[in-house]
A and B are shown apart, each in its own frame.
Chain A
């Protein structure tokens, strides 16, 4: 009887430890967020990879829309906006096209396996002095439904999520 009780205690301890381990590690993995209350989105650069003008503009506008929707930053400024100069804790986001594969909406509708559009961008978050705060490669895709420009929406959502995970208007806050 005593043996059974000991076994039960040992088992419950083992379970508790096995659950606590990953939880503690997950908490360790989350770094403190960088303080930033405003962001200036620069026009998408396509230096080495040529993309259609409509993709460039759609990437830029979707990125601004998604950052505004997330509400991570108090202000989202556009490229060249002079009023951004007065903002405190301003960071700049410069995205450069690293890869582009234009698919086909018709091909997706007909074959369901081919015709995917994908676009990869290197996103660089920098402070006012120009120092790099965070660099990430983010990919936008459209696989099954929707026009080619939907890849830009997918990219913008992912980029806004990265901003939400790493930046906050309060220092080190959530």
Chain B
């Protein structure tokens, strides 16, 4: 006769582990965010809406007519809109709010959806260079960038780097 206590323990363990099983399977296709492909994916029209996800070691853009995969290892550069702003030293739309008459710029900004850009450069099988631009909800671009770097993608602007500081350092070194 089987003791009831071990059976109960096994059953409880299985019940406890049950929610973990689908989660580990989901890591194969990790949905990241909704996105709009502005330009760059071959065979996909400009401004196509879809979703970005990570499937194994590739970035997948899923849209109404199919999927497009970019292998993370083939990515030579991944840059977010915020990275570009840090390098160029732009301001976040404050100029328009000041310059627009009767505060209309401020009203317009309320209706504008806050978006970030994700720019990727990668090589195809023949060595041809491709560039892709996605717009994603604000804050999502940096997450995707980090996920891609973890899977072998490269970047010209590391997240923690302060380009202004680097520039001043190089200036000081000059005789």
Q: Which residues of A contact B (CB under 8 A)?
A: 43, 50-54, 56-58, 60-62, 65, 77-83, 102, 104, 106-107, 109-111, 114-115, 149
Least CB distance from B95 to A in Å reads 7
Is residue B11 contacting chain A, with contact meaning CB distance below 8 A? no
Q: Name A110's closest neighbour in chain B (CB-CB).
A: B100
Contact A54/B129 with A107-B95, A110-B104 known, Cβ cut-off 8 Å: no
Contact A50/B88 with A110-B104, A111-B99, A114-B99 known, Cβ cut-off 8 Å: yes
Is residue B128 contacting chain A, with contact meaning CB distance below 8 A? yes
List, in ascending order, chain A residues with CB within 8 A of B130's CB.
Answer: 61, 78
Is residue B22 contacting chain A, with contact meaning CB distance below 8 A? no
Q: Is the CB of A81 within 8 A of B127?
A: yes
| Most chain B beta-carbon contacts within 10 A, residue among A50, A62, A78, A115 | A78
Report the number of A-B residue pairs with Cβ-Cβ less than 8 Å.
Answer: 94
| Most chain A beta-carbon contacts within 10 A, residue among B99, B109, B129 | B129
List, in ascending order, chain B residues with CB within 8 A of A53's CB.
Answer: 77, 79, 83-84, 119
Contact A80/B128 with A54-B84, A106-B105 known, Cβ cut-off 8 Å: yes
Least CB distance from A115 to B in Å reads 7
Number of chain B interface residues as a range: 35 or more
Least CB distance from A153 to B in Å reads 9
Q: Is the CB of A106 within 8 A of B127?
A: no
Q: Is the CB of A52 within 8 A of B38?
A: no
Is residue B53 contacting chain A, with contact meaning CB distance below 8 A? no
Contact A61/B40 with A106-B109, A110-B104 known, Cβ cut-off 8 Å: yes
Q: Is the CB of B104 within 8 A of A54?
A: no
Is residue B28 contacting chain A, with contact meaning CB distance below 8 A? no
Is residue B96 contacting chain A, with contact meaning CB distance below 8 A? yes
List, in ascending order, chain A residues with CB within 8 A of B85's CB.
Answer: 52
List, in ascending order, chain B residues with CB within 8 A of A114's CB.
Answer: 99
Q: Is the CB of A52 within 8 A of B101?
A: no
Q: Which residues 80-95 in B have Cβ within 8 Å of A in the complex?
A: 81, 83-85, 87-88, 90, 93, 95
Q: Name A105's closest neighbour in chain B (CB-CB).
A: B96
| Most chain A beta-carbon contacts within 10 A, residue among B38, B96, B132, B133 | B96
Least CB distance from A17 to B in Å reads 51
Least CB distance from B24 to A in Å reads 35
Is residue B121 contacting chain A, with contact meaning CB distance below 8 A? yes
List, in ascending order, chain A residues with CB within 8 A of B131's CB.
Answer: 43, 56-58, 60-61
Q: Is the CB of A79 within 8 A of B128?
A: yes
Q: Report, nearest first, the 4 A-B pairs whose CB atoms are least far apart.
A: A57-B131, A78-B128, A52-B84, A81-B128
Q: Is the CB of A54 within 8 A of B117?
A: yes
Least CB distance from B104 to A in Å reads 5
